[in-house]
């Protein structure tokens, strides 16, 4: 069973997942990075460019999903170094510190709240999120062209690309595709016909939507919706 809620950390989401049966799962790209807990271990999920197929590991998982572009400042590692990867937190931070933090999370009333407290402490000691990055996410999610966003921010295309790689793990065009996919899936899950979903989400046509869903999610749109159901 999967449940989530808004975090006390701005823009973040706290979640918990206790699969009711064994089997593989599918995590769709969303432009975010997550701090994870599983069986007492702390891990980091980097930004995905394609659906991440889980191995069906049993037991409870908990996580905090950071707003796009905000995790690198908290974790101290550029997002592109973790692209399409799941790594132990001890691979990024000193092992002794991770053991201490894991013990604190394990002692919390529930691991999700423990992760949230850990993230809040990290955020308190870090620089505030770059407002430029939130502008990039908001503008891309509204369907604005990358070149227009760069002009608005007074950045050259290469500057925007470099900052995007550090913050998001990939360039703004890839982030735009992922955010467009999320918009389309939200519409389709609400029962909007596929042709209308394509038009409203910003695709050229329904065939374009179908190709993008298959490439990014790994399944045809209809099958993806059926599995969600």
Per-residue model confidence as pLDDT tens digits over 110-162: 999 999 999 999 999 998 888 899 999 999 999 999 999 999 999 999 999 99
Question: Does the reported pTM lie above 0.85?
Answer: yes
pLDDT (tens, 9 = 90+) of the chain, 229 residues, equals 889 999 999 999 999 998 766 667 889 999 999 999 999 999 999 999 999 998 766 688 999 999 999 999 999 999 999 999 999 999 999 999 999 999 999 999 999 999 999 999 999 999 888 889 999 999 999 999 999 999 999 999 999 999 999 999 999 999 999 999 999 999 999 999 999 999 999 999 999 999 999 999 999 999 999 986 4
Helix (H) or strand (E) holding 210: helix 206-217
Closest CA to 156 of 172, 177, 134: 172
All residues at 6 or more sequence positions from 111 whose CB lies less than 8 Å from its CB, including other chains: 16, 37, 60, 62, 105
């Amino acid at each position: 069973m999967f449940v989530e809620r808004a975090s006390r950390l701005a823009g973040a989401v706290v979640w918990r997942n206790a699969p009711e049966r064994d089997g593989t799962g599918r995590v769709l790209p969303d432009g975010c990075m997550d701090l994870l807990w599983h069986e007492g271990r702390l891990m980091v999920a980097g930004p995905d460019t394609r659906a991440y197929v889980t191995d069906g590991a049993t037991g409870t998982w908990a996580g905090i999903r950071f707003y796009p572009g905000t995790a690198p400042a908290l974790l101290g590692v550029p997002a592109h170094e973790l692209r399409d990867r799941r790594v132990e937190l001890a691979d990024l931070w000193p092992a002794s510190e991770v053991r201490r933090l894991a013990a604190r999370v394990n002692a919390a009333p529930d691991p999700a709240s423990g992760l949230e407290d850990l993230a809040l402490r990290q955020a308190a000691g870090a620089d505030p999120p770059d407002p430029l990055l939130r502008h990039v996410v908001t503008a891309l999610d509204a369907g604005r062209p990358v070149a227009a966003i760069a002009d608005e921010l007074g950045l050259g295309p290469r500057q925007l690309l470099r900052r995007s790689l550090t913050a998001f793990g990939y360039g703004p065009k890839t982030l735009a595709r992922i955010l467009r996919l999320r918009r389309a899936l939200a519409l389709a899950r609400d029962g909007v016909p596929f042709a209308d979903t394509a038009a409203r989400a910003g695709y050229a046509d329904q065939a374009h939507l179908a190709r993008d869903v298959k490439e990014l999610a790994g399944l045809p749109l209809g099958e993806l919706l059926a599995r969600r159901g």
